[in-house]
Structures are given as C-alpha cells and as structure tokens.
Chains A and B, each alone.
Chain A
C-alpha cells in the first residue's frame, strides 16, 4: 500500500507497465501482473494491441474471466488464433513482436534475468523452475519490459546464471553475441522505474514511487545505482486505471496479495 492506502504496489506496477504498451503492437504477454497490464492498456490507450501467448494463442480481447494460467479455457474461447507454440514463436523470431514483458527471481545492473539456478549450477542453493519461454522473449522481442519485486537479494551486481539476456556485460554485448531483439527498455519494480543508458546499457533509476525515497531504493539494490538527471516521482495510477485493474482482478488475487 502507498501512504494513503489508496492502491497497492502491484496496482501501481500494472498501471506503469501498461503505459509501456503502444497502440497496435504485438505484445508477448505472459501471466499475472503483465497480463493485467495488457488488459489495462487495451481498455485505455492501446485498444488495437494484440496479445501473444507461448502455449499457442493470440488474442485481441483480454479473456472475460481471471486467468490462473495462459492455457485456461476462457483464454482459448474467442482467441484470434489457437495454434502450435512454434507458430507464435515464429512471429517472435521474425521480429514481428514489438514488446515482451517478463519477471524474474534475480536481476542485475544490465537487465539480465535469472530464473534457473541460485548458487552454482552443479549444486544450487535453490533450483528455480527455469526459462519457460522467457529466454526466447528476452532474446527476440523488439523491446523488453521487466517487472520485479524490488528486494536487495533479487537486485544483484551480477546474476548467478543468465536465463533471459538483458545487455550481458553492457555496451554492444547483444550485437556481439548475435541477439536480434532490442533488449530491455525499462524495469518496473515495487519501488521505482529504471530505464537504460543508451551507451553503457546500465540500468538508471528514472523514477521512484510515491512514498518511496531514493535511499530506500539504494538500500534495496545490490549495486551502486546510477540516477537519471531527470529523476522524478512515478505518477500514481489514476482512478480510471484502478477501476479497470480491480474489475479484472476483483478479489485482488494478483494485485492485493
């Protein structure tokens, strides 16, 4: 909750993430908060956005019911295309998908995500579920938006394992290794929003959420963060945005944990 208890951090994330979706774009949606962000963007500034799901679905209308997974029956009925995974991945690899949205367990200063192994690969402290389609989305989408719980243990100088590539070691790393997608453009967290330096490709704090201080963001980040010269407070979700989010997640399953 923010200071006044008017909205939760998750609701703010959904609103901030939705603003990254442009009208008419093909968006690799994912689940949970990104799915709600897609639905919100559709009902506000991006009515012509189209959602892709790696199980083999394409939709231009958010499902009429809350989804627990992308393959739930309400997501299939009324889809634009219900097909094979490889057909959806084909659009991604040919460069037709402008935006992908991902979360992760760990992230580093160059936007690399780890959802595989914490500790060593041979004897990990925690075996996380793995890539799913995340590494493909991070490799191939035109732009990548990252949504994260902001905690120091998750925001590390270097991730233990690169599952989903951001900018690798920074600079022109993506071009050097041959990745076709554009890489991350923003990290929306529970505390603020980062953009990326155009040259070094390092994450730069662009805004902090209402009620959050710069000190708090520094405390919860495992590297010495750079701050934008135009650092500002994140605009809070509007009444309209909150009404739509609460309509889509009526019991707060994803947004009021």
Chain B
C-alpha cells in the first residue's frame, strides 16, 4: 500500500524542504504565490536555502528577513505594489541578518533556465541580455557564439530546483491538478524540479481533473505532496477564488522598513499563527469577504466526446 500524497503543510515542509535545498516559488509571477508554504518554512526554521523564482513579490523578502536564505536566483525581488523590498536591501547592502548571494537573471533567462532543466538540456541560447551587466561574472549566463555564424549569443545554464512549491486552484489526492490564469514559469519550473509540492485551494475527485486534461498543469508523477490550503496564496490573487490584497502589501512595506518592525510583523503574521486557519482568523471574515469575487465568470464547457 503506497502512502497517499495528501499531507498537512507542516508535514510537506518537514519532509520535502530541508535546510540547504533549492526551492522554486512564485512561478506564476504576481499571482498564486505560495505564502502559506513560505510561512511554514520560516516556522520550521529552515536555513541556507536557495530561492529560485522570476519575481517573488514579498515572499522572498520575508524568507530573507527571517534568516532562511543564503542564495537567490531571481529576476526581481521587491514589493510589486510599492517598489523596494527592505529585507532584501538590508541583506545585500549590509549583510543583515545574513550575507546573501544574488545570481541575477531576467524573467526570460529564468524561464529559459527552467525550460532547459525540464528538457534535460544543459543550456538554451538566447539573444537577450547581450551587452548588459547581468552577464558580468555570471556563470549561469555565459557569453558565447553561434557555432555556424559566429553571431553572439548568451547560453543560459539549466536550472533544476530540488523542489517546486506551486499553488493551484484544485487537485486530486494524487496531484493531478488544474491551474488557470497566467502561468508564468509554473509548467517549466515544475518539470525542471526534482519534486513538486502542490498547494490546492480545493481537493477534488480524479474524475473532475480528468474531465479536462488540457487544463492539467503537470504530470502527477512529479508531485510528491498535495496540501489542501484554502487562501494559501493570500495576499496574492488566485483566479476565481480571491483577488489581490493590495493593502496587505502596503502595510508590509511600512512595517518592514526597520529590522525591528519586520520582527514584529513576523511575530504577528507568521510565528504567532501556527496554522493558516489562525492566520485567516487574524485577517478577519470581513476582509476575506471583500477579497472574494463579486461575480462568477464561467468558461464554456469543452467537449471531449469521441
């Protein structure tokens, strides 16, 4: 009898996100960011992580401030609502709380690195970034040339994260999952990773998923754990479930201006709320209600008949 993949968030992080590993998060960009998983990583005091993502919004900033991270492979780390990310700045400018190694990418080269990783190819060439300082001293973005024409190219080295944490709308208990909205690098990132932790708004039957195989994100053979965590992407949006909590980002920006302010924020929103349920209670029902869609917009059904 094989053990099921459905576990709690605490179990998923305990088993699949050890200290020292590389983790892909924020793969869809500004939406579907697995904040609940990130907060559990902080509570379990993981250290020396490598974070991988195109733009992580404030999740990477929180993990950096909490001292979980030694390296980032990213195109953009900030607060999309406001701009700069304070913990990221402190880590790079003042090595506080820890020194942070930054491997700079663009969104396209992160995508190409993950695509190469998923293809099992060592690298993929691009004409983006030629002449920029992103190439200076960056072993993952090597200046090279077309072997036939000699034209300049950048070789983007494959990226293979140890684990990808992806937020989706619905999954069955084997990790067959539907995800919709902009996908960013979710597909490439999932394929490139050695394993995938899916965080699902809703657990559904296998029949629901298999009724629409074109909407499936990944082969479930990649999925090592399925966590049912409604609102697990808050304050980022999840299409059809809840919108972006813009005010939460602004409040975080203000609170995290100082190290002490960030520590207070961390205590209130991560350390003192051991579960997502406690976090949602702190947010309050009124706020959750405001973030819910005001109407449904159902897609037309498709016919797989034969």
A interface list, Cβ under 8 A from B: 31, 53-57, 68-73, 76-77, 82-86, 89, 92-93, 116, 121, 123-136, 139-140, 161-165, 168, 173-174, 177-180
Contact = CB atoms under 8 A, between A and B. Distances in A.
Contacts of B151: 178
Contacts of A133: 75, 106-108
A168 B85 CA distance: 28
Interface stretch (B177-185, B197-205, B257-265): B177-185
Nearest to A136: B108
Nearest to B245: A68
A177 B240 CA distance: 45
Contact of A127 (B92, B127, B243): B92
Contacts of B106: 131-136
Given A85-B183, A86-B111, A73 B131 contact: no
B18 interface: no
Contact of B30 (A71, A136, A180): A71
Contact of A54 (B107, B109, B246): B107
Contacts of A178: 127, 130-131, 151-153
A84 B83 contact: no
A89 B84 contact: no
5 contacts: A57-B182, A85-B108, A89-B111, A129-B83, A162-B133
Contact of A168 (B55, B112, B129, B131): B131
A165 B81 contact: no
Given A68-B244, A178-B153, A55 B83 contact: no
Interface in B122-172: 126-134, 136, 151-153
A127 B237 CA distance: 27
A84 B105 contact: no
B131 A162 contact: yes
A147 to B, nearest CB: 15
B75 A73 contact: no
Contact of A161 (B102, B133, B183, B188): B133
Contacts of A126: 84, 89, 93
Interface string B17-48: 00000000000111100000000000000000
B93 A132 contact: no
A229 to B, nearest CB: 30
Contact of A162 (B29, B132, B181, B297): B132
A123 B102 CA distance: 12
Contacts of A68: 80-81, 244, 246
A53 B182 contact: yes
Contacts of A180: 127
Contacts of A54: 29, 107
B188 A129 contact: no
Given A89-B108, A139-B129, A129 B153 contact: no
Contact of A132 (B84, B107, B237): B107
Interface string B56-89: 0000000000000000001111101101110011
A69 B81 CA distance: 7
Nearest to A54: B107
Given A70-B30, A136-B129, A139-B128, A76 B182 contact: yes
A26 B137 CA distance: 34
Given A84-B183, A139-B129, A177-B131, A72 B237 contact: yes
Contacts of B187: 84
A131 B243 contact: no
B182 A179 contact: no
B185 A85 contact: yes
Nearest to B33: A71
Nearest to B85: A129
Given A127-B92, A130-B74, A136-B106, 7 more contacts: A76-B239, A86-B108, A123-B93, A133-B107, A135-B128, A139-B128, A179-B130
B131 A132 contact: no
B105 A131 contact: yes
B173 interface: no
